[in-house]
Structure 1
Amino acid sequence: MLTALKTYPSTVNVLLSASLVLTLARAITLPYLVIYLSDRFGLSVADIGLVIGSTLIIGSLLSLYGGFLVDNLSSYRLILVFSGLFTMGFAGTFLAREIWLFYGCLVLINLAYAVIDIAVKAGFGDLLPVAERSQAFSIKYTLTNIGYAAGPLMGAGLARLDSSLPFFMSGALGAAFFFSYLLWANRDLSVVKKDRDPLPFLAVGKLLSQDYRLVCFTLAGLLSAVVFGQFTAYLSQYLVVTTTPEFTYRIISAIVTTNALMVISLQYAIGRKISPRHLNLWLGAGLSMFVLGLAGFALSGTVMFWIISMAVFTLGEIIVIPAEYMLIDNIAPNHLRGMYYAAQNLSNLGAASGPVLCGFLLATQPPYSIFYLLALFTLAGGGFYLLGACLSDRFSRHRS
């Protein structure tokens, strides 16, 4: 990976640094939001879930307009502005004494993070040839997972000193990136194509809705994200219902560590081998790993069995996420790349709904039934991927 980073233009490396630094800033606080909202504002568990889930959903929906901005404004200025908003959001959470202000800051953080993520992916499409993009997406995802692995450890240490310090540190990291980007980024970076007049936002939205390949891939990503987007949340819910709190803690700690170590060590090695030519086979393999992992979870009774099942599940995650990026990259027109990636970000709606659906099922059905539901979501996602791929092949033949 380090060798690949040395061969990239400095602009690409700056974009990759955004994935690491801003994810680290976000990960420092996310695991402790439940405790912080309970202690600081006295919210119930149900209200906490509503706050966290709804802010993620609102940020994802608003990021659709962010994708429109990526296609029509200077990427340099856009990333600079939204990294400033990201920093302001964390400053607000550190200072907020009212829940409505804290809520608004969480929406701002999620929105800014989503828009910067879209700009980074669109930047890869503008700066790198097609053959090198899969590798860049894999490096980006590896750096993102390094941030998610290291962030909670930093947050735990800071929270022992003061419950507000994780938010202060996240804001400081956001500010550090802001000033670093201001000094070292390429001010000419833009994915805007000057050879055509920009379309209004609603016209672009209508155009995207008519691309049935994108609709299929977006639905597939949303359904798949129900399975892997918040797996720790629904597995925690399942374990709390079926085992003791002590065993739940042991299992969650073990599988989170397994997931992080595997993604960090294998993502780049596997992800760089994913090529546009065999995307359907890769996706089939990844989704199969999800189903096998879910079956393992349903049958697991020991810590080792949970770790093995998590290892299989994680292989699916390592394959599917960069493959999803490649699917969108293959069909996105250069002048609408930001909007196409923004549509892909709607998969966050699936990630947010997973724990809600599983919680309802756990309250009304036998506990193991959640794995049947999740397997069905996986298969349905695979069906939409297959349909989108067939439409893409037909489109390619028509153009040729």
Structure 2
Amino acid sequence: MLAALKRYPTTVNLLLLTTFVLTLSRAITLPYLVVYLSESFQLSISHIGLLIGGALIAASLLSLYGGHLVDNLRSYSVVISATLVFALAFVAAIASRSATLFFLCLVLINLALAVVDIASKAGFCALLPVEERAEVFAIKYTLSNLGYAIGPLLGVALLELDGHLPFLMSAAMGLAMCLAYHRLADRSLQPSERQQPGAGFMQVCLGLARDRRLVCFTLGGALSAVVFGQFTAYLSQYLVVTASASEAARLVGVLVTTNAVTVIALQYLIGRRIARQQLMPWLMAGMALFIVGLLGFSVAGSALAWCLAMVVFTLGEIIVIPAEYMFIDLIAPEHLRGVYYGAQNLSNLGAALGPMMVGLVLGHLVPVLVFYLMVLAVLLAGLFYYLGTRGPLQA
């Protein structure tokens, strides 16, 4: 990985660093967010879930327009603006005296992170040859998982000093990254070669809706995100129902660590080998690993069994996410890469819906059916992926 980073253009490394720093900054506040909302606004757990999930859904929908901006503005301007909004939104969140204002701040934080993510992917495609893109996507995903592994630990440490420090640290890191990008970035970079400069956002959206492959792949991505997008949430729900709350918390902590270690150790090694010419076999392998992992969860009777199932499940995640990036890279026209990657972010809707569906199952049916419901989602995702890859793809 270090060898790859050394040969990349400075702007590629800067984009990787920007997404990593912003992801780390976002992850710092994760351990405290629920507690902060409860203590500051006296919200119930159900209302907190709606606020956090609603902010993610709103940001995912708005990121489609963010992708449109990436296609029509200089990458430099978009990234600088997004990182500045990211930092200011954390400051505004601390100053918020109402849950509504805090919700808007959370939407802006998630949206800014999504826009930088889209601009980075579009920048990779503009700056690197086709054969090197799988590797840079694998590096990006590895760094993101590293951020989510380190961030909560740093957030807990800051929380011991002062309740506002996690938010202030996140704001400071976002502002520092904004200043660094302002100083070091290539200001002339324009990721997309606009062939239709007059196309408005609604016209672009209609064009996206007519792209059968994108629609199928977005549906497949949303269904697969139901399975892996917030797996900690539905595993926690299942374990709280089938075991004690303390046992659930302990086991979920072990599983999160297992997932993070597996991703960090193997993501780059596997992700860089995903070939553009064999995306469907790779995707189906990822889907199969998801199913094996889910079935392992359904019969696990010990912490070791749960961890082994999580390793298999994580291997599926390691394959599917870079393969999704590569597929969008294949089908996106050069002048619309940003908005295509924005459409890919709509898969977050599946991640938000997953815990809701699981809650309904646990409330009315046998708990173990949760995992069979997830297997069904994987099978449907595989079907949509298959439909999306039918016919010739770009070389």
TM-score band, normalised by shorter chain: over 0.9
* Separation (CA, whole Å) in 1 of partners of 2:196 and 2:294: 48
Task: Point out 4+ residue stretches in structure 1 off by more than 6 angstroms.
Answer: none
The answer (yes or no) to whether the contact 2:236–2:248 under 8 Å persists in 1 is yes
Aligned partner of 2:16: which letter? L
State the TM-score, normalizing by the size of structure 2: 0.98
SS in 2 for 1:163: coil
Mapping 1:1-400, distance limit 5 Å:
1-391=1-391, 393=392
Q: Contact 1:74–1:192 (CA<8 Å) still a contact in 2?
A: no
Q: Please tell me whether the aligned partners of residues 73 and 192 of structure 1 are also in contact (alpha carbons under 8 angstroms).
A: no
Q: Residues 53-96 of structure 1, C-alpha deviation per residue, up to 9 Å, x if partnerless?
A: 00000011011111111111101001000110000111111222
* Superposed CA offset, 1:338-381 (max 9, x none): 01100000000000110111011111111111111111000000
* Unmatched tracts of structure 2, length 5 or more: none
Partners of 2:195 and 2:61 lie apart in 1 by 29
Which amino acid in the other structure matches residue 177 of structure 1? M
Deviation by residue 1:185-228 (Cα, 9 ceiling, x = unmatched) = 11111123255433111111111111100000100000000000
Q: Distance in 2 between matches of 1:389 and 1:194?
A: 26
**Which letter does structure 2 place at the counterpart of 1:165?**
L
| Counterpart-to-counterpart distance in 1, 2:7 and 2:242 | 50
Matches of 2:232 and 2:195, distance apart in 1? 46
CA distance in 2, matches of 1:60, 1:50: 15
Provide the C-alpha distance between the structure 2 equivalents of 1:170 and 1:89, rounded to a whole number of angstroms: 10
- For the residues of structure 2 that align with 1:366 and 1:233, how far apart are their CA atoms? 18
CA contact (8 A) 1:72 1:198 kept: no
- In 1, Cα distance between the equivalents of 2:216 and 2:179? 39
User: 2 CA distance for matches of 1:153 and 1:187?
Assistant: 35
Cα deviation, residue 154, structure 1 = 0.3
Q: Hey, what's the Cα distance between the residues in 1 that align with 2:168 and 2:123?
A: 29
How far residue 99 of structure 1 moved from its aligned partner, in angstroms, is: 1.4
Q: Contact between 2:296 and 2:306, CA under 8 Å: does it hold in 1?
A: yes
Instruction: Please give the alpha-carbon distance, in whole angstroms, between the structure 2 residues aligned to 1:175 and 1:83.
Output: 7
Are the equivalent residues in 2 in contact too, given 1:64–1:339 (CA < 8 A)? yes
CA contact (8 A) 2:20 2:143 kept: yes
Query: CA–CA distance in 1 between the matches of 2:198 and 2:160?
Result: 51
How far residue 103 of structure 1 moved from its aligned partner, in angstroms, is: 1.1
CA distance in structure 2 between the partners assigned to 1:151 and 1:100 by the alignment: 26
Whole-angstrom CA distance in 1 between matches of 2:251 and 2:361: 21
Q: Aligned residues: percent identity?
A: 56
The number of equivalent residue pairs is: 395
Whichever residue aligns with residue 224 of structure 1, its letter is S
- Counterparts of 2:196 and 2:241 in 1: how far apart (Å)? 57
- 8 Å contact 1:66–1:342 — kept in the other structure? yes
Q: Secondary structure at the match of 2:86?
A: helix
Structure 2: distance between partners of 1:89 and 1:196? 33
SS in 1 for 2:29: helix
- Indicate how the Cα distance of structure 1 residues 136 and 124 shifts in structure 2: closer, same or farther if over 3 A, else same: same
Q: Measured at CA, do residues 195 and 285 of structure 1 come closer, stay the same or move farther in structure 2, by a change above 3 Å?
A: closer
**What is the alpha-carbon root mean square deviation over aligned residues?**
1.1
Within 1, Cα distance between the matches of 2:210 and 2:120? Answer: 25
Structure 1 unaligned blocks of 5 or more: none
TM-score (norm 1): 0.97
- Once residues 225 and 104 of structure 2 are traced to their aligned partners in structure 1, the CA distance between those partners, rounded to angstroms, is 25
C-alpha separation between the residues in 2 aligned to 1:196 and 1:96? 42
